[in-house]
Structure 1
């Protein structure tokens, strides 16, 4: 595999509030480096780190809490390519390969975006039907695939 074909291993999370399953709105956060782009929290898996360790570490680093429980896991890894503008900043990676989880926040979870290295400036919970209206075009096929899987499973 050449350097151009390397995909960064990553965890990604679809987060629902503590009111789940009565309320199935999904957490999205607005990036601090791209104008009006919202996404699911996600992050790289460190060398030697277990996937679940990375999941909760990234959750804490990105939204200031790891007070959540895993509801489900997408059964496969899914990948996407970075657009050229982002790819130049992310060398040697061509894109990311991600393991997705559906998580429910605990009642006592306190979201705090003012973390050590803030990635987001705002967050909200949005209706599942409108989530793709907010997200970056290059991530939408993956988001749609994962959301549709969890819907088909009766989880969203």
Structure 2
């Protein structure tokens, strides 16, 4: 795989006949899109990133972050259910915790999933803005011949 930064002009700050710097528009704020936008801006190009569903793409919003949160919840549940070997007992009943005596508040887990995804998406936005990328909340498409 080639280095994408080599595809940029040797001096993207060069002035074109229109008097502008090299302009780059990226459609999609998933991992490839936001990394391309950061690279473009760091090389001096005027960069716009267009994203309509949330920065980070599916990895942040529906796949990796949510699944890791659900896995972490299941891991903690499993650890607590097995903690009777360590002498852990319910303070009121003295019973050892088991998978049958524990429950998970799925609404709370879902809130945590959404909050983590929103925080990571917000961090990506901050990085883009800090690098000088203009972020447009919306949708784009290529149109024409």
More helix by share: 2
Q: Report the TM-score when normalising by structure 2.
A: 0.25
More strand by share: 1
Point out which structure has higher relative CO (alpha carbons under 8 A, 6+ apart): 1
